[in-house]
Amino acid sequence: MNFDAINSAQLPALLCAMPKTELHIHIEGSLEPELIFALAKRNQVRLNYATVEELRSAYAFTDLQSFLDIYYAGASVLQHPQDFYDMAWAYFLRAKADNVVHAEIFFDPQTHTERKVSMRTVVTGLHHACTDAKEKLGISSSLILCFLRHLSEESAFETLEQAIPFKDMFIGVGLDSSERGHPPEKFERVFKRAHQLGLKAVAHAGEEGPPAYIWSALDVLKAERIDHGVQAIHDEVLMQRLAMERVPLTVCPLSNLKLCVFPNLKDHNLAQMLSQGLCVMINSDDPAYFGGYMNENFLQTFAALNLNASHAYQLACNSFEAAFVDEAQKLAWRVQLDACFQQHGA
Ligand code: HPA
Ligand code: ZN
């Protein structure tokens, strides 16, 4: 592949066109203000904001917690399977426009079951959208059930048990919400049970929390991927391990910018991690809240960090490598990727 043949003026079109997977997207974080208002009306839920503009102008965050408060409030309009379907379908249309070929989608059942919305409502609504995305848009996907780490171990156990009847509709478990003060160890026994059930495991770690949380996500929870993981940069031994074991880090640049993990996109360590041989890739996290879906993340990150076509190729390959799919599928995406690069002059 001749990456040098692609100049910086040609790069944006290639970034948008290239096939990619998305492995770090919270479906509740794809809920756009317009849909929040439409669902609030449909379900007769009262919002604390008078207009879409007023809600959107509240999206000025100082850290993870300041975002989570508003994110959980937004999710309160979701009540029926159709609401979950509509939210996920809107995401899939955005993903299609960005040439996402496959998505592994987080959902937060406790945000809903705490409001007396059933696990069945949540999972069946989302799963139906996943089925339609494959059939109508050609996008494959799977669901990953996340435990809210600010809640108790007991609540996580209860959530996992409630989900067992729907075990064929999701592939794994994850861990999200407020990181600091809620180390992975808190959920050791729940993840053990999830492994016994044959589920995959991922965990948010090292977004705001220390490198020690990444170590314990790997060693205690047996997580196969780390979500975010950008704080690994402060631990040289950990960096070597992540590189050697090719542990995927699902990095989310615009999220990190909006939650002030880095003061400026130019300060993001994605390029440094890539050059040290880590399996990092770009994801959108909560695109309705953080100013962009996949391609917007690619475009802004590449501009800020001066990345080139060779970086784009590596990031796309990493996104295939890290997906929970078989090798034949990964190879098929690689063939698609090569064809795309060749069409763009490489
Ligand atoms: N971090 C932790 N929890 C979350 C996030 C995140 O970036 N997005 C939605 N829940
Ligand atoms: Zn996340």
Give residue-wise pLDDT tens across range 65-118: 999 999 999 999 999 999 999 999 999 999 999 999 999 999 999 999 999 999
Mean pLDDT (whole number) for 126-152: 99
pLDDT score for 340:
98
Ligand 2 geometric centre to CA of 283 (Å): 9
The answer to whether 310 and 274 are in contact (CB under 8 A) is no
pLDDT score for 77:
98
Among the listed residues 255, 272, 282, the one whose alpha carbon sits nearest the alpha carbon of residue 18: 282
Residue of 207, 224, 245, 296 marked active site: 207
Average pLDDT score over the chain: 98
Neighbouring C-beta atoms of residue 286, cutoff 10 Å: 25
Task: Produce one character per residue of 261-271: b if its CB has 16 or more CB atoms within 10 Å, e if not.
Answer: bbeebeebbbb
Q: pTM of the entire structure?
A: 0.98
Say yes or no: domain 3-343 is CATH 3.40.50.300. no
Q: pLDDT tens digits for 324-341? A: 999 999 999 999 999 999
pLDDT score for 285:
98
225 touches ligand 1 (CB under 6 Å): no
Residue 207 annotated as catalytic: yes
Q: What percent of the chain has pLDDT over 90?
A: 100
Q: Which amino acid is at 88?
A: A
182 touches ligand 1 (CB under 6 Å): no
pLDDT score for 75:
96
User: pLDDT category, 266, cuts 50, 70, 90?
Assistant: very high
pLDDT score for 74:
95
Q: pLDDT tens digits for 218-239? A: 999 999 999 999 999 999 999 9
Among the listed residues 113, 106, 225, 212, the one whose alpha carbon sits nearest the alpha carbon of residue 161: 113
pLDDT score for 322:
99
Among the listed residues 277, 337, 339, the one whose alpha carbon sits nearest the alpha carbon of residue 21: 337
Atom 3 in ligand 1: residue holding the nearest Cα = 177
Position in ligand 1 atom list of the atom nearest CA 207: 1
Atom 7 in ligand 1: residue holding the nearest Cα = 285
Q: Please report, for the chain, the start and end positions of each structural domain, with discontinuous segments joined by +.
A: 3-343
pLDDT score for 114:
97
Ligand 1 geometric centre to CA of 176 (Å): 5
